[in-house]
A and B are shown apart, each in its own frame.
Chain A
Amino acid sequence: MITISNLTKKFGSHISLDDVSCEFNKNDSIALMGANGAGKTTLIRSILGYYHPDLGKILIDGSCPIKDRVKVLQNISFVPQLPPPIKLNIQELMQYICMSTDIDKELIEHYSNEMKLDIKSNLYKSFFKLSGGMKQKLLIAISLAKKSSIIIYDEPTANLDPKARDDFYRLLKQNEDEKVLLFVTHRLEEVQELVNRQIYMDLGKIVSDERF
């Protein structure tokens, strides 16, 4: 599904990804780990088509995420580490997402309810005014409602309380079939039950890739 071949990305003289090659296939559930500055976020952003590689390429189902971004992103859900301070209210944000991605609004509401987020009473509240946990729950609900074949989570549980984390893992378990799940995490124990592959990065390189 995702093929990364000899990918190199530099920022000035700093090499953030150094000749990285790997493949992520259906039913792979990966914990992407490494110290700060190891290149995890750069790798994710390259998969999402945000960075132009200096060398190498990424193909997602045979398509380039930069040239065919609309087609590629139709099948990717992404939740960032820190929810961005979006000024749109929830109704507008849902309108943006539903119209651009053809997601059913009811499905977002369904997953929000599953995450114990009362979306209806907050519809006209600006997204950035919600609490950290509420924002994260909404982004998770959107990612699940999108029904993508690739789901990328960058430290998704950082703002969640233990109960919300359990809800999140339960929903993921129900939705993981036939998908690529990619978790960027510093705490393997949190996603250990969900993952079947562990990749460790350091200084822009993949230093270990274990399946279990």
Chain B
Amino acid sequence: MKNLYLIAYLDLKESIRAKWFLVYSLVFGGLIALFFIAGVTESQVMGFSGLSRLLLMYIQITIVILPIFILITTVRSISGDRDNHILEYMLSFPISLRQYYWGKIIGRFITVYLPVLFAMIIAIIFGFIKGAAIPWSIFFLYTGLLFSLSSAFLGIAFFISSFVKSSEVALGISFFVWIFLLAFIDIALISLMMQQRLNEELIIFISMINPMELFRVAAISLFDPELTVMGPVAFYILDRMSQSMFVLLSIGYPLLIGLAFAYAGFKIFEKKDLV
């Protein structure tokens, strides 16, 4: 176990020093600062105001940029090390592949999750100082949703990283995965619906297996438990499960996807040539 923690600790230290981490933290911290400066907490849209409105905006932007940030910063972790021969040297020491791979995942997870979480904590602290009501239920839901969304994309990134030989190809695949999932949030689904090529139930199923879509719907569900902003889709979802069940699914499903992809990546890493 000590080697697992050692790899995680060293990966965390290395990432924190990297320029991408600075940009990553500034983007999420900056978003919150920008919302306060722009007076988002004082505005009211669709009945949401104060910190709730700020967190809703934060989560709507996060859903687009967090997956791509995680993919492009993580996908090169193993393929990049393989590319520039770091893996060749580091794995010449008696560390098991299991410890190396999962240690890297733990280290990288902490690196990508903490800035996003800290940005929300900063929002809560500022909101408290300004005398706004703290929406704890929303805060805890978002903490859980961000945790599971980060896990999903971290797992996908490590999966890609485990079989790709060059980091350029890894980046290309990451962009494709992101665009593909993003397109299946709305654009592709709406066009499928308009062309009436597939039945509605299948289209809703396709959207619900997309962790980004699930994250988005769950993020709205605390503000709007009836999911009225989603129109007829809400009837379909809420007919089949309760709102709390749906929230559990939105946290559990991406987490499982992340673990499944990470495990598949480990199996490939173990079975393939290392360098």
Query: Residues of A at under 8 Å CB distance from B?
Result: 45, 48-52, 69-74, 76-78, 80, 82-88, 92, 95-97, 99-101, 139
B residues less than 8 Å from A52 (CB atoms)? 271-273
Is the C-beta of B233 less than 8 angstroms from some C-beta in chain A?
no
CB distance from A47 to the nearest CB of B (A): 10
Q: How far is the CA of A48 from the CA of B274 in the complex (A)?
A: 10
The answer to whether B92 touches A73 (Cβ under 8 A) is yes
The answer to whether B10 touches A92 (Cβ under 8 A) is yes
A residues less than 8 Å from B94 (CB atoms)? 69-74, 100-101
Is the C-beta of B189 less than 8 angstroms from some C-beta in chain A?
no
B45-85 residues at the A interface, CB under 8 angstroms: 84-85
CB distance from B240 to the nearest CB of A (A): 46
The answer to whether A100 touches B89 (Cβ under 8 A) is no
B residues less than 8 Å from A70 (CB atoms)? 94-96
The answer to whether B93 touches A84 (Cβ under 8 A) is no
From known contacts A52-B273, A80-B85, infer whether A88 and B93 are also in contact, taking CB-CB under 8 Å: no
The answer to whether A88 touches B14 (Cβ under 8 A) is yes
Q: How far is the CA of A196 from the CA of B73 in the complex (A)?
A: 48
B260-275 residues at the A interface, CB under 8 angstroms: 271-275
Q: How far is the CA of A98 from the CA of B153 in the complex (A)?
A: 33
The answer to whether B13 touches A92 (Cβ under 8 A) is yes
CB distance from B97 to the nearest CB of A (A): 7
B residues less than 8 Å from A86 (CB atoms)? 86, 89-90
Of A71, A73, A84, A100, the contact of B88 (CB 8 Å cutoff): A84
B residues less than 8 Å from A51 (CB atoms)? 273-275
B1-46 residues at the A interface, CB under 8 angstroms: 2-3, 6-7, 10, 13-14, 17-18
A residues less than 8 Å from B14 (CB atoms)? 87-88, 92
CB distance from A145 to the nearest CB of B (A): 12
CB distance from B7 to the nearest CB of A (A): 8
From known contacts A50-B274, A96-B6, A99-B6, infer whether A78 and B86 are also in contact, taking CB-CB under 8 Å: no
The answer to whether B88 touches A95 (Cβ under 8 A) is no
Q: How far is the CA of A109 from the CA of B2 in the complex (A)?
A: 23
